Amino acid sequence: MYPHSVKQARSSGIVAVPSELALIQSIRRKAVFPGSRSLITGIGDDCAVLRPRPGYEICLTTDFSLEGVHFRRGWHPPQSVGHRCLARGLSDLAAMGAEPLAVFLSLALPARLPRAWLDGFLQGFLALARRHRVPLAGGDTAQSPGPVSADIVAVGQLPPNTARLRSTARPGDLLYVTGSLGGSAAELLTLSRRPWPFRKLTQAGDEHPHLYPQPRVAIGRRLRPLVHAMIDISDGLSTDLTHLCEESGVSAVIDEAALPIHPLALQIERQKTGQPLPADSDSSPLHLALHGGEDYELLFSASPSAKIPRSIAAIPVHPIGVLRKPARNHPRILLKKRDGRVIPVAPAGWEHFR
């Protein structure tokens, strides 16, 4: 039986979310993933049954995607919301150097949510799942009295004692980052000013780092035997590097000239004034690269003698600084400016409850 609000939605012409059983069956049909060796029993039973590789360890992560916090239905195409929901979990697995084993999706949906939006969400989610060959093994559904809420649980596997942690960086390590920084924040700024051109972007593309971020799963697995510590850049370089430094008991010096700034971040400063913005502006390329967040690149440290490739799977890998022993009453992160000055960098990326 449908809730009263769903009946109202149908009578008003809105094709809304179906009953819970119909919704689960719809997801089950769309989530067919033939040939998966890891998934023994998936959607349709009380629990999923997974089969990891013999002797491997399991790692698990979970992430919320909340309407009004992580996305807005008026801004983001539903395919982007689904893609981003899964990308968050896969990026965490990438940071550990893990191979994805299975994912679980729980959805809390308002009864009057248009069915077309839900179909688009699942389309984006499952397209990324198939790209990384990770089955949707289960989850949960509920009616939400308010906004959309999606919770992703991602399960990975890796050989024993090989997980790359935040806490194992060493003084003297070189600091690296994959890809480029600031692109997601730059695209979000443009999206917030003129959202309507983005609504037609329903297919994933590398040129849209905010709408369709690409988790570096294969790169994380390639780097696993080469690095000491690793973290993904979800909250911003300044914040995630602070996490790594605090967990490992080190400090960092990063080189402004070495930071790989995304072309969208370089373009954003001229959209309003046509002139370069001050470095401390919230829209400057440097600010977006340091604090923007949701780039989902990998930040890692490695011994100076480690043979780190210049690129992996056509994604460049950039040395950006060095780790040192922490000094009392000194900041965790210092930035070496292009003119030779060295200034402190406070964590100013995303933080809930700030």
Q: Is 342 left (phi over 0), alpha (psi -120 to 50) or beta?
A: beta
What is the average pLDDT score of the chain? 90
Closest C-alpha to 138, from 55, 60, 42, 225: 42
Q: Please tell me the least confidently modeled range out of 26-30, 82-86, 136-140, 190-194.
A: 26-30
Which pLDDT belongs to residue 15?
59
Which pLDDT belongs to residue 77?
96
Which pLDDT belongs to residue 283?
79
Report which residue type is found at 194. Answer: R
> For 65-88, what is the mean pLDDT?
96
Instruction: Give, in degrees to the nearest 5, the angle at Cα 280 between 66 and 285.
Output: 65
Cβ(14)–Cβ(114) under 8 Å? yes
Task: Assess whether pLDDT exceeds 90 at residue 286.
Answer: yes
Counting residues of the chain whose pLDDT is more than 70, the rounded percentage is 90
Write the class of the CATH domain 4-158: alpha beta
pLDDT in tens, 196-240: 999 899 888 889 999 999 999 999 999 999 999 999 999 999 999
> Residues with Cβ < 8 Å from 324, sequence gap 6 or more?
171, 172, 250, 251, 252, 253
> For 45-66, what is the mean pLDDT?
95
Task: Assess whether pLDDT exceeds 70 at residue 285.
Answer: yes
φ, ψ (nearest 5 deg) of residue 259: -70, 125
> For 28-39, what is the mean pLDDT?
80
pLDDT in tens, 127-183: 999 999 999 999 999 999 999 999 999 999 999 999 999 999 999 999 999 999 999
Is residue 186 very low, low, confident or very high in pLDDT (cuts 50, 70, 90)? very high
- Quick one: CATH architecture of 174-344? Alpha-Beta Complex (3.90)
Which pLDDT belongs to residue 8?
42
Is residue 49 very low, low, confident or very high in pLDDT (cuts 50, 70, 90)? very high
Runs of H (alpha helix) within 179-293: 183-193, 217-223, 237-248, 263-268, 285-291
* Residue scoring higher pLDDT (279 or 218): 218
> For 29-53, what is the mean pLDDT?
86
Q: Domain ranges for the chain, please list them.
A: 4-158, 174-344
